Amino acid sequence: MKTILNFIFLILLVSNTFSQQTSVTKAEDLKSAYDIQDSVMIKTRDGAFISAMVIRKKGVSVPKPVILQYTIYVRDKGRDIKSLKEAADKDYVGVIAYSRGKRFSPDEIFPYENDANDAYDVIDWISKQEWCNGSVGMYGGSYNGYTQWAACKKMHPALKTIVPYVANRPGMGLPMENNIFVNPNYEWSFYVGNNKYLDTIAGNDRQRFRKMQNIWWETGVAYKKMDSIDNHPNRHFQRWTNHPSFDEYWQKMAPYKKEFEQINIPVLALDGYYNDSQNSSLYYIRELQKYNPKTPAYVIIGPYGHFGTQIGGEIKLNDYKVDSVAIINIKKITYQWFDFILKNGAKPEMLKDKINYEVMGTNEWRSAPSLDKMANGFLQLYLTDNKSGKFYALNEKKPIQKNYLYQEVNFADRQTENNEYYPNPIIRKEIDTSSGFVFISDPLKESMLINGSFLGELKLSINKKDLDIGVTLYELMPNGEYFHLSYFLGRVSYAKDTTKRNLLKPNEIESIPFSNTHLVSKQLSKGSQLVAVINVNKNRFSELNYGTGKTVTEETIEDAKEPLKVKWYNDSFVKIPIWK
C-alpha cells in the first residue's frame, strides 16, 4: 500500500582531521571570505515581504550571475548557508528567498498560492542590484522545483535558465493525483505552515497522522472532516479540498496551456522513475514541448525516488539495487549547466540529447530528442476474459466476442482494501490478487525495451456515477519475481478533462482513456511476461469515491449502502511504449 511521503532531512557531516587550532583558523578564514547579508527583506508589488539571504565572495567588485533558490523550507542555520557559499565559491552570487510568510516575512503562509508573482518580484529585485550582471539561474528540488516553473508563468528578462529537480505541480501530483486527493500533503501542511520555520515535531509525528487516517478509514466519515478527527484545524487542507477539479485555483499557480509559449529559456529537469510526483514534473516538460518545441528543454531521468533524485541517486531504492551507472553527481552537473548557459562554458557531457535516461537492467544511459521519441512503437495488449493459468490472458489480438469480467466492491466493508499499486518493494515474490483482475501476457520470445509512459483505454459500465481506478504494470521475470514498472491512479469522471467533472451514466458502457502514468525505462528479459492489474481504488491512503456523483470529499459511509458493481469489458487495452 502507498507509503506516506516522509520529509527527509539530508544532513551533511563534515569531518576534520586537523588540530583544533587549525580548525579555528580555517573557520575564521572561511567567515572572512564571504560577504553575508542574512536579513534581506524584499517588498512585493502587493505590499508583502519576502525574507532572503545573499552571499558573495569578499573583495569581488565585478557584477556576477546570480544563482537563486526559492523555497518554503527554511533551514538557514546550516544547509541553506552552505548552498549559498557553494554558489559563491563557483564565482556566482548565491541568493535564497523564502516563500511569503516564512522566516522574517510578517505575512500569512499560503503554500503555492503566491509564489508565481513573488518569484517574479524577487528576480526583479535581484536584477537591479549592483552585484548582479543581469543574469539569474534557479535550481532546487520538489517545492523548489515548483517555484522555478512558477517563476516562468510571467517571464522576467533576467531569468536565463532553471534546473528543477522532481518539480511539484500543485493540483497535478500533490495534493491530488489525477483528481484523487491523496494523504501526504495533509501532514505536510502543518510541517511548512505551522510557523515561520519548519514544525519538525508535527512533521515527524507519524503516529498522530497514522491514527487519524485509520480512524477516518474505520468510521467512514467524510474525507474533508479528517482535521476534525485530528483535532487540529487544517486550513490549507480545507482550501485544497474545495478544488477537486484542476480549476483556476490550481491553474494560476504555474504556467498553464498557452503560457508555455513564452518560455524560451534553456531548462534542465531531473526526475526519477519512482518519484511519487513524476506526473507533476514531466507535465511541465510535456507542455513545454507541446507549446514551444523550440525551447531547449533537457531531461535527466533514472531509477530514483523523490528524495533520491535530489542527491543524484541511491544505491538501493525500495530494496532494488540500481545499476551503478545511474549514480550521478547532481550538484556537479547543475553547476556545469549554469556555466554552460551563464558563462558560455561547455555543455555537461552526459547531455547527449534532450532526453537522457538510464535503462534499468542494462547499466547504460541512452538519449532521445523528446519524451515521445523515447519509443518507436507500441505493444497493444487487450485485457481479455480468457483464463491463462490463475490469471487472465493479456493478448495482442482483440477478442472476437464482446464479454466482461464482473467486480463488486462494498465500500461499507472496512476489513478489505483494494489496489496495492505503490512500488515498494520494486521487486516482490507475490502481488496482491485478492481483488481486481490480473492479466498476463505470453512469455517474451526475445528481450524487449520498455521506454516511456504506458497508456490505454478501459471499457466499463457501473451501476453508479463515478469510480476511482488503478492500473499497475509489472514484469514477471523468469525467476518468478515481479518487477514493478509503472502505475496509473485516477478518477474516471475526469478522464477526458481534468478541469471539468463528467459523471458516468449508470449501466451504460463508457470508454475511459488514461495516459498520465509514470514513465519508465527497463530492459525486459527473454521469457519474461507482462502483467497488468486493474482494480477499483479503495484504501485508507486516499479519499474514497462512493460513486454517488456528489463531491467526493463530502461522501461518507452512509453513501455505501449499495455496493459498486463494475463490468470490465474485454476490448479494454493497454499500450506499452517500446523501442524496437
pLDDT (tens digit per residue) in 346-369? 999 999 999 999 999 999 999 999
- For 257, counting Cβ atoms within 10 Å of its Cβ (0-12 exposed, 13-18 middle, 19+ buried), the class is exposed
Q: How far apart are CA 457 and CA 537, in angstroms?
A: 17
Question: For the residues 546-561, what does the mean pLDDT come to?
Answer: 98
CATH superfamily for 17-165 is Alpha/Beta hydrolase fold, catalytic domain (3.40.50.1820)
Question: For the residues 487-491, what does the mean pLDDT come to?
Answer: 97
Question: For the residues 430-442, what does the mean pLDDT come to?
Answer: 97
Query: What was the pLDDT predicted at 20?
Result: 33
Assign 458 to helix, strand or coil.
strand
Give the pLDDT confidence of 31-48 residue by residue, as tens digits. Answer: 579 999 999 999 999 999
Query: What was the pLDDT predicted at 370?
Result: 96
Q: Using an 8 Å Cβ cutoff, are 219 and 468 in contact? A: no
Assign 371 to helix, strand or coil.
coil
How many residues are recorded in the chain? 580
Query: What was the pLDDT predicted at 5?
Result: 35
Question: What residue ranges do the domains of the chain occupy?
Answer: 17-165, 377-579
- Confidence grade of residue 129 (pLDDT, cut at 50, 70, 90): very high
Other CB atoms within 10 Å distance of the CB of residue 517: 24
Give the pLDDT confidence of 388-432 residue by residue, as tens digits. Answer: 999 999 999 999 999 999 999 999 999 999 999 999 999 999 999
pLDDT(18) > 60: no
pLDDT(15) > 90: no
Composition of the chain by helix, strand, coil, percent to 5: 25, 30, 45
Amino acid found at 390: K
Question: For the residues 210-225, what does the mean pLDDT come to?
Answer: 97
Query: What was the pLDDT predicted at 27?
Result: 52
Query: What was the pLDDT predicted at 174?
Result: 85
Q: How far apart are CA 503 and CA 212, in angstroms?
A: 30
Question: For the residues 92-102, what does the mean pLDDT come to?
Answer: 98
Query: What was the pLDDT predicted at 30?
Result: 55
Query: What was the pLDDT predicted at 577?
Result: 98
CATH superfamily for 377-579 is Galactose-binding domain-like (2.60.120.260)
Q: How far apart are CA 420 and CA 126, in angstroms?
A: 48
Closest CA to 274 of 326, 317, 312, 325: 317
Higher pLDDT, 32 or 548: 548
pLDDT(537) > 80: yes
Query: What was the pLDDT predicted at 173?
Result: 83
The alpha carbon dihedral of 46, 50, 56, 58 has a sign of positive
User: What mean pLDDT, rounded, does the chain reach?
Assistant: 94
Q: Using an 8 Å Cβ cutoff, are 154 and 120 in contact? A: yes
